[in-house]
Amino acid sequence: MRDPVLLHRTPEETGLAGLSALDDALRRARDHLYALQEPGAPFWHAELEANSTLTSEYIFFSHILDRVTPERERMCVAELLSTQLGDGGWGIGDGRGGEISTSIEAYVALRLAGLAASAETMLRARAFILANGGLQGARMFTRIHLALLGLWPYDQIPSIPPALLMVPGLIYRMASWARSCVVPLIVILAHRPRWRGSLGLTIDELLPRGGAPEAYAPPKPPAGASWEYAFATVERAIRSLDRLGVVPLRKSALRRAERYILERQDDEGDWGGIFPAMTYSMVALVALGYPLHHPTIVRGWAAIERFGREREGRLRFESCVSPVWDTALALLAIRDAGGPADEPRLQAAGRWLLDKQVRHYGDWSVRNPEGSPGGWSFEFNNRYFPDNDDTAAVILALQSLELGSVEEAAYRDASIGAARGWVLSMQCKGGGWGAFDVDNDDVLWNRIPFADHGAMLDPPTPDLTGRVLEMLGNTGSREEAAPVRRALRWLAQEQRADGSWYGRWGVNFVYGTWAVLCGLAALKLDASEPMVLAGARFLTRAQNPDGGWGESCLSYDHDRFIPAPSCPSQTAWGVMGLLAAGEDDSLALLRGVRWLLKHQREDGGWDEAAFTGTGFPQHFYIRYHLYRDCFPTRALGLFARRQRSKPEL
């Protein structure tokens, strides 16, 4: 019989006074999460903090779309000034200091808002930008923003031929987030609009040695780089035709783009639930002749304003909002920490989630025509782009609740059935799951000159596949089910030599390994299976000397685990991963639990400065303000449950 960690070790060994200390920690953690529920509402909605580009771009587009509000701009300026780093630049949350494009956008936003180039803040920013290549180092999306402001030549931006829209199904081979931006960008780059207020504003001081931007020219790759060479050749031909005024299928393609943009706007004004798609869609419609007071534009800007977070006289913008995800995580954490299944606040949250189920055919149905709707999206409003990750998490949360009447329970079960069926229909042919689409893995899209951020695809990933398997295991599937067998084979192929799995949507190998191990445990896979043992060994080796876990965003750059100071969310992933692997008695597990207890605040919450969420690896990281509380609460709750399930000797 295995030795229960807490019940049969001394207080000196555990750092605890037994399970009573754990009970007190869980009570305070539950109370803290209840207190974070949105005032007067049934859901949770914490901040999704990214880098300063969203706030900078709010300033850009408020000028471009004639929506400047002096007080809100003043608060945005205060936010940008407060986030400038010691090196003079602005960063992306990866711990490396300033980043060139983020810094250029912040500099230009501050200039637009009235700061003089001679201000001390601006001189420091300019020095950083020039030391890192100047304007020529800007990414393509930054160049587009500058072109809209009249500060960058459109000739230095790669072309996107409108004819792409006329090829059946072609745009659906891009990731959903890329598609919802590329379609309006096709319109923008075809019309090349410039903000009329840009006259008189220059940023020549950011050009090295006072030079001028060189005109963009498609690269000349070596002969062996077949796709790159093909794209370069096509783009040269397109530019030649464009100079002659010959743009094949231009009018038809732009009409199709206009229809796509109008049809994809949610009733509340959002496009795709993401800030860039919303701003580009409004600018594209204005370029097509829509007046600024058109209802579509008015609704769209109102949606943008809802992405702002005011605090202490500053205004910061989010790339998207996460109430569905936050609510599912909070429900799971409270329930795993001992919150009753019939608690009214949890029931209200469950009913709210049921109301948010997407029963609309969206973009996903183009590549998955056999599937029926039933998923959930990340945001308040996003009926065209539900995703597998949110859907799996919501199913797990809903099935943990008791909703009261027999009728409500039946409706809940039917909703879960529809959602489960939708997720199964979204399995990729190799066996894994991506986020928004099926088999969205045509690598050529990441090789086009426009895609300098390398994030045009939504392929299957281990972390999402692990989450789906956790859901399937908890709703009745077992190892012998055909979709599960395919997923297990795929995960075995994706496991790395060190035992870890890649984490696409959280940083990084700790996140991916935790998610997969939880999926395997839900399927009742034996803890002695080689996959499970290797995953547990990785987590044990990755543990910090202080007992916690921390992983740097630089893991994506180096394609290997890079340790960082311990933090609550990643420590919780390490603890839950070891629990899922059956490492109940391991010293690593106990030390992780002890770290979480030691760092809990008196009010039941935790502090976390690290960015542990991933938008686009190497380019865009996220600090979910609820992660620091939800995951540790869940980890301690699962640990306590496991300890109580063991017989005393």
Residue 456, CB half-sphere, CA atoms under 13 Å: how many? 19
pLDDT over threshold 90, residue 16: no
Whole-number pLDDT of residue 464? 98
Q: Cβ–Cβ contacts within 10 Å for residue 437, how many?
A: 28
Q: Which of 317, 332, 354 is the last residue of a domain?
A: 317
Whole-number pLDDT of residue 478? 80
pLDDT digits (tens, 9 = 90+) for 402-425: 998 899 999 999 999 999 999 999
Banded pLDDT at 339 (limits 50, 70, 90): very high
Whole-number pLDDT of residue 583? 96
pLDDT over threshold 90, residue 78: yes
- Domain coverage including residue 584: 11-48+321-644
pLDDT digits (tens, 9 = 90+) for 232-247: 555 555 555 566 565 6
Q: Mean pLDDT over residues 538-545, rounded?
A: 98
Reading the block at residue 401, the tokens are: 């609740």
Banded pLDDT at 18 (limits 50, 70, 90): low
pLDDT over threshold 90, residue 474: yes
Of the candidate ranges 306-310, 360-364, 478-482, the one whose mean pLDDT is the lowest: 478-482
d(CA 410, CA 357): 15
Instruction: Supply the residues annotated as catalytic.
Output: 389
Q: Which of 289, 317, 345 is the last residue of a domain?
A: 317
Q: Which alpha helices (H) appear in 264-376, and where do they start and end?
A: 275-287, 295-305, 323-336, 344-355, 364-367
Banded pLDDT at 7 (limits 50, 70, 90): very low
Q: Considering the domain boundaries, does residue 1 fall inside one? A: no
Q: Coil, strand, or helix at residue 80?
A: helix
Choice between 20 and 24, residue whose per-residue pLDDT is larger:
24
Residues 185 and 306 in one domain: yes
* Number of structural domains in the chain: 2
Banded pLDDT at 111 (limits 50, 70, 90): very high
Q: Mean pLDDT over residues 570-588, rounded?
A: 97
Task: Find out whether 51 and 627 touch, Cβ atoms under 8 Å.
Answer: no
Q: Considering the domain boundaries, does residue 163 fall inside one? A: yes
Task: Find out whether 460 and 441 touch, Cβ atoms under 8 Å.
Answer: yes
Choice between 196 and 221, residue whose per-residue pLDDT is larger:
196
Whole-number pLDDT of residue 1? 29
Banded pLDDT at 248 (limits 50, 70, 90): low
Q: Considering the domain boundaries, does residue 174 fall inside one? A: yes
pLDDT over threshold 90, residue 431: yes
pLDDT digits (tens, 9 = 90+) for 622-649: 999 999 999 999 999 999 999 988 766 3
Whole-number pLDDT of residue 237? 58
pLDDT over threshold 50, residue 65: yes
Q: How many residues does the chain have?
A: 649
Q: Mean pLDDT over residues 315-343, rounded?
A: 97
Q: Considering the domain boundaries, does residue 4 fall inside one? A: no
d(CA 349, CA 41): 9
Q: Which alpha helices (H) appear in 475-542, and where do they start and end?
A: 482-494, 509-522, 530-542
Whole-number pLDDT of residue 2? 38
Whole-number pLDDT of residue 244? 55
Residues 81 and 109 in one domain: yes
Report the relative pairing of strands 308-311 and 48-49 from DSSP bridges.
unpaired
Q: Which H or E element spans position 587? A: helix 587-598
Reading the block at residue 433, the tokens are: 């799951």
Whole-number pLDDT of residue 382? 95
d(CA 382, CA 33): 26
Q: Considering the domain boundaries, does residue 29 fall inside one? A: yes
User: Which 8-state DSSP code applies to residue 472?
Assistant: H
Residues 341 and 295 in one domain: no
Q: Mean pLDDT over residues 602-631, rounded?
A: 97
Residues 592 and 489 in one domain: yes
pLDDT digits (tens, 9 = 90+) for 223-234: 555 545 555 555
Banded pLDDT at 209 (limits 50, 70, 90): confident
Residues 148 and 273 in one domain: yes
Q: Considering the domain boundaries, does residue 3 fall inside one? A: no
Q: Mean pLDDT over residues 606-618, rounded?
A: 97
Residues 101 and 131 in one domain: yes
Q: Considering the domain boundaries, does residue 361 fall inside one? A: yes
Residue 208, CB half-sphere, CA atoms under 13 Å: how many? 12
Q: Considering the domain boundaries, does residue 559 fall inside one? A: yes
Whole-number pLDDT of residue 201? 85
Whole-number pLDDT of residue 164? 82
d(CA 403, CA 398): 9
Banded pLDDT at 251 (limits 50, 70, 90): confident
d(CA 360, CA 487): 27
Residues 218 and 346 in one domain: no
Residues 330 and 289 in one domain: no
Strands (DSSP E) contained in 36-161 are 48-49
Whole-number pLDDT of residue 446? 77
Residues 410 and 368 in one domain: yes
Burial class (CB in 10 A: 0-12, 13-18, 19+), 517: buried
Residues 225 and 343 in one domain: no
pLDDT over threshold 60, residue 365: yes
Burial class (CB in 10 A: 0-12, 13-18, 19+), 609: exposed
Whole-number pLDDT of residue 5? 47
Rounded to whole angstroms, what are the CA distances from 647 to 7, 131, 487, 514, 644? 10, 64, 35, 27, 8
Residues 306 and 414 in one domain: no
Q: Which CATH number fits the domain that encloses residue 221?
A: 1.50.10.20
What's the distance, Cα to Cα, between the start and end of the chain in Å? 8
Whole-number pLDDT of residue 199? 60
Of the candidate ranges 197-211, 437-451, 529-543, the one whose mean pLDDT is the lowest: 197-211
Q: Which of 262, 290, 317 is the last residue of a domain?
A: 317
d(CA 57, CA 319): 10
Of the candidate ranges 172-176, 318-322, 645-649, the one whose mean pLDDT is the lowest: 645-649
Of the candidate ranges 59-73, 353-367, 471-485, 551-565, the one whose mean pLDDT is the lowest: 471-485
Mean pLDDT, the chain, integer: 91
pLDDT digits (tens, 9 = 90+) for 116-163: 999 999 999 999 999 999 999 999 999 999 999 999 999 888 878 888
Whole-number pLDDT of residue 443? 81
- Which residues have CB under 8 Å from 84's CB, separation 6+? 90, 106, 121, 124, 125
Residues 263 and 332 in one domain: no
Query: Tokens 């392929």 identify what position?
Result: 459
Choice between 351 and 162, residue whose per-residue pLDDT is larger:
351
